[in-house]
């Protein structure tokens, strides 16, 4: 929905005058920088962007973007963003949330946004910890995690965010990593381009309370074996030599070595429009033997809530002869007192 006659923006146009107050070394800086870098390219007027956030470290994001922004209350950003979008469907609405905000206190609103498919872009920064409240386990923390509130290890089984939103009916599901700036830019651009709710999870390092949560995905030595880069229509291969692939053994994904026994043709080919593949991929997360899928897991076209709503309203307007509240007031059983 690019606007016509949009002036050329630079990254500076999207930086607000507020000093950024995340901890030095926080992964959030990278996400802010990539967002500010991508936005001038989207061809939309600056005043049509709205950032809505809840509570948490990630939720300070809107203050640093020189767009319209609303830093709201814990967990409710998606609900508030829904109101913004329904009031004015022409706006480009972005939700910034975290694993605590979006999956714990706000989990209910997150899933319902997914099934409604409003054209809202959700950026969930997943650092697998509560940062703002100084280090308690979050809904994505691994079981057994030692934190201030779980001195003997947390008892909760973690949420898998992408499996959750796929189950809730999301139409665009993707994941990136804070250290992968180019890839993140691409994912932000893809999120924007998707008409309907987009859900982009960013693996984000909290260097204070959960440092190294994604080391295996970012360290040079382990990265190639730990990350499965997804590309639509391409075989799912990984490893420093690109010699490992994901293959289906019946319904079960297995890792195969490409060489004598298995060729590239034997490896599963990614199809962004295939829900079964998306589910299978999302469930590789937390399976220690498998690489973590990064990229667009799922993307399908589906009608948006706001389009359906406006269609109903327009149809009702067309069909009704009651154009004013006065017409309703005067209709039905009335009588005249003289």
Sole window of 70-78, 137-145, 147-155, 171-179 interacting with other proteins (rule: CB under 8 A): 70-78
Residue 66 touches other proteins, criterion: CB under 8 A: yes
The single residue listed with the structure tokens 């730990």 is 226
User: What residues are paired with 65 via a beta bridge?
Assistant: 15
Eight-state DSSP code of residue 44: -
Residue 236 touches other proteins, criterion: CB under 8 A: no
Binding mask 18-57 for other proteins (x = CB under 8 A): x--------------------------xxxxxx-x--x--
Q: What tokens does 167 get? A: 């189950």
Eight-state DSSP code of residue 158: P
Eight-state DSSP code of residue 15: B
Sole window of 71-79, 126-134, 175-183, 273-281 interacting with other proteins (rule: CB under 8 A): 71-79
**CB atoms < 10 A from the CB of 4, how many?**
6
Q: What tokens does 281 get? A: 């991929």
Return the sign of the alpha-carbon dihedral for residues 208, 23, 60, 94.
negative
Question: From the CB of 97, what's the least distance to other proteins, in Å?
Answer: 13
Nearer to other proteins, 108 or 149 (CB): 108
Dihedrals phi, psi of 299, to nearest 5 degrees: -155, 115
Binding mask 91-130 for other proteins (x = CB under 8 A): x----------------xx--x------------------
Furthest-apart CA atoms within the chain: distance in Å: 100
Among 1, 23, 86, 168, binds other proteins (CB under 8 A): 86
Q: Cα(138)–Cα(74) distance, rounded to whole angstroms?
A: 14
164: three-class secondary structure by DSSP: helix
Sole window of 157-165, 169-177, 295-303, 316-324 interacting with other proteins (rule: CB under 8 A): 316-324
Binding mask 6-25 for other proteins (x = CB under 8 A): ----------x-x-------
**CB atoms < 10 A from the CB of 280, how many?**
18
Sole window of 61-69, 181-189, 244-252, 292-300 interacting with other proteins (rule: CB under 8 A): 61-69
Helix (H) or strand (E) holding 216: helix 215-218
Q: Cα(28)–Cα(61) distance, rounded to whole angstroms?
A: 8
Sole window of 124-132, 160-168, 180-188, 308-316 interacting with other proteins (rule: CB under 8 A): 308-316
Among 146, 254, 264, 329, binds other proteins (CB under 8 A): 329
Q: What tokens does 78 get? A: 């998606």
Interface residue list for other proteins (CB under 8 A): 16, 18, 45-50, 52, 55, 62-63, 65-73, 76, 79-88, 90-91, 108-109, 112, 309, 312-313, 315-317, 319-320, 322-326, 328-330, 332-338
């Amino acid at each position: 929905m690019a606007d016509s006659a949009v002036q050329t923006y630079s990254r500076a146009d999207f930086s607000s005058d507020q000093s950024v107050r995340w901890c030095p070394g926080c992964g959030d800086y990278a996400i802010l920088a990539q967002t500010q870098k991508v936005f001038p390219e989207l061809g939309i007027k600056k005043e049509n962007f709205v950032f809505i956030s809840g509570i948490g470290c990630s939720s300070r994001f809107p203050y640093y973007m020189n767009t319209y922004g609303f830093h709201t209350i814990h967990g409710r950003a998606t609900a508030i963003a829904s109101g913004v979008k329904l009031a004015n469907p022409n706006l480009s609405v972005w939700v910034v949330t975290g694993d605590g905000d979006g999956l714990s206190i706000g989990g209910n609103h997150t899933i319902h946004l997914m099934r409604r498919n409003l054209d809202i872009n959700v950026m969930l920064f997943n650092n697998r910890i509560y940062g703002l409240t100084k280090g308690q386990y979050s809904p994505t923390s691994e079981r057994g995690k030692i934190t201030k509130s779980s001195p003997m290890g947390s008892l909760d089984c973690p949420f898998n965010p992408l499996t959750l939103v796929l189950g809730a009916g999301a139409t665009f599901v993707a994941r990136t990593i804070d250290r992968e700036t180019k890839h993140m830019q691409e994912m932000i651009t893809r999120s924007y381009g998707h008409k309907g709710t987009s859900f982009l999870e960013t693996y984000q390092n909290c260097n204070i309370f959960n440092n190294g949560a994604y080391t295996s995905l970012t360290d040079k030595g382990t990265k190639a074996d730990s990350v499965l880069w997804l590309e639509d229509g391409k075989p799912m291969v990984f490893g420093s030599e690109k010699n490992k692939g994901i293959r289906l053994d019946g319904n079960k994904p297995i890792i195969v070595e490409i060489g004598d026994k298995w060729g590239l043709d034997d490896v599963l080919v990614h199809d962004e429009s295939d829900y079964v593949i998306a589910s299978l991929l999302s469930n590789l997360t937390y399976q220690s033997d498998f690489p973590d899928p990064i990229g667009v897991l799922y993307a399908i076209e589906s009608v948006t809530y706001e389009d359906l709503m406006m269609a109903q309203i327009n149809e009702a307007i067309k069909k009704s002869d009651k154009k004013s509240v006065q017409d309703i007031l005067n209709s039905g059983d009335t009588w005249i007192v003289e």
